[in-house]
Each structure stands twice: as structure tokens, then as C-alpha cells.
């Protein structure tokens, strides 16, 4: 069993305690494979009024879908996270939403899969996903359009 370093622990917990509203988020980063990568906990699950059996909708490594919600009243860059069967689980965290929304608008098809499920925890720790995305061609894209991705 691998011993976690303090940095590993910070990455896993985002530096957040159960009572905190503050957390550290990993940026989208380009890995050696030339793709954008990150992982994050699904936000807003407690507001979705999910049935008790929601964890049975998913297994570790199952893919989930990202759906842009440009008419969302709270965030015009909101991106919903759905099961393959169309069950709305929550949202991409606000820290990533503008960049992910932009990538989806540019035709990117990210691979997003479940890496952690813990329905017995507090809602902001229920579901973690891994995000991987090829970088779309940005030909004919203005610098202003790129600003969300270059946070």
C-alpha cells in the first residue's frame, strides 16, 4: 500500500474540510500524451434531489456525459454531468466550467469517467471524475475566446 505524502493528501482532499467552502483545485494540465487532464468532484449533487439509489447508476470507470447549459440561470458557462442513461448528477465545478464549456463549443469530445463514489460522505465528496480531452484545433479562434482555457 502506497503511503500518501502531504502533497498527495492535499490533491485528494483539495485542502477542504467538511465545513469549508474553500478548496484548492488542480488546473487543467497538458500531459505527455498532449491531452488536457484533471480530476474533480462533481458539484451541486445535493441540490439535484437525487434518489437514494443514485450510486447504483454508476460504477468506477463508467463514463459520464457533459452537457453545456448556456441558458442556466446561475452560470451561462454551466456544464451538467449526466449518466449515460441521462440522469443529471450535478455540474462541472465553476473553477473549470468556462474552459470546459469553451472546449465543448469548439467540438472537443472529452472522456469523463467515474473514479470515486462515496455516497456515505458529505455531498461535495460523493462523486469524483477523471477528465481527459484532446485539444481541438483552435484555427480561427481569437485571443479573447482562448482566455477561459488559459486561466
Give the N- to C-terminal CA distance of the chain in Å, as an integer.
35
Q: Express as a percent the part of the chain with pLDDT over 90.
A: 62
Q: Express as a percent the part of the chain with pLDDT over 70.
A: 75
Is there a domain that residue 81 lies in? yes
Is there a domain that residue 150 lies in? no
Is there a domain that residue 151 lies in? no
Looking only at the bridges linking them, the beta strands covering 79-82 and 88-91 are antiparallel
Alpha carbons 21 and 56: distance in angstroms, whole number:
28
Q: How many domains does the chain have?
A: 1
| Across 62-67, average pLDDT | 98
DSSP one-letter code for 131:
E
Alpha carbons 151 and 148: distance in angstroms, whole number:
6
Q: Give the DSSP H or E segment for 128.
A: strand 127-133
Tens digit of each residue's pLDDT (9 = 90 or more) over 19-38: 555 667 778 898 999 899 99
Alpha carbons 151 and 28: distance in angstroms, whole number:
9
What is the model's pTM?
A: 0.77
DSSP one-letter code for 21:
S
Is there a domain that residue 15 lies in? no
pLDDT given for residue 19 in this prediction: 55
Residues written for the chain = 151
- Say if residues 96 and 81 touch (Cβ distance below 8 Å): no
Longest distance between any two alpha carbons in the chain, whole Å? 49
Q: Which domain holds residue 89?
A: 43-49+59-136
Provide the mean pLDDT of the chain.
84
> How would residue 137 be classed by pLDDT, with cut points 50, 70 and 90?
confident
Is there a domain that residue 76 lies in? yes
Looking only at the bridges linking them, the beta strands covering 127-133 and 111-117 are antiparallel
The CATH number given to whatever domain includes residue 89 is 3.30.70.2330
Is there a domain that residue 147 lies in? no
Name the CA radius of gyration of the chain, rounded.
16
Amino acid at each position: 500500500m502506497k503511503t500518501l505524502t502531504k502533497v498527495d493528501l492535499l490533491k485528494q482532499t483539495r485542502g477542504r474540510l467538511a465545513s469549508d467552502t474553500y478548496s484548492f483545485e488542480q488546473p487543467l494540465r497538458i500531459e505527455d500524451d498532449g491531452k488536457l487532464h484533471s480530476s474533480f468532484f462533481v458539484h451541486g449533487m445535493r441540490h439535484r434531489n437525487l434518489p437514494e439509489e443514485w450510486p447504483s447508476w454508476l460504477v468506477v470507470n463508467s463514463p459520464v456525459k457533459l452537457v453545456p447549459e448556456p441558458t442556466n440561470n446561475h452560470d451561462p458557462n454551466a456544464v451538467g454531468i449526466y449518466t449515460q442513461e441521462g440522469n443529471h448528477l450535478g455540474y462541472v465545478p465553476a473553477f473549470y466550467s468556462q474552459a470546459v464549456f469553451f472546449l465543448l463549443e469548439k467540438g472537443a469530445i472529452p472522456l469523463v469517467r467515474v473514479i470515486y463514489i462515496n455516497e456515505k460522505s458529505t455531498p461535495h465528496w460523493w462523486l469524483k471524475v477523471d477528465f481527459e480531452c484532446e485539444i481541438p484545433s483552435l484555427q480561427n479562434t481569437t485571443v479573447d475566446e482562448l482566455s477561459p482555457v488559459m486561466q
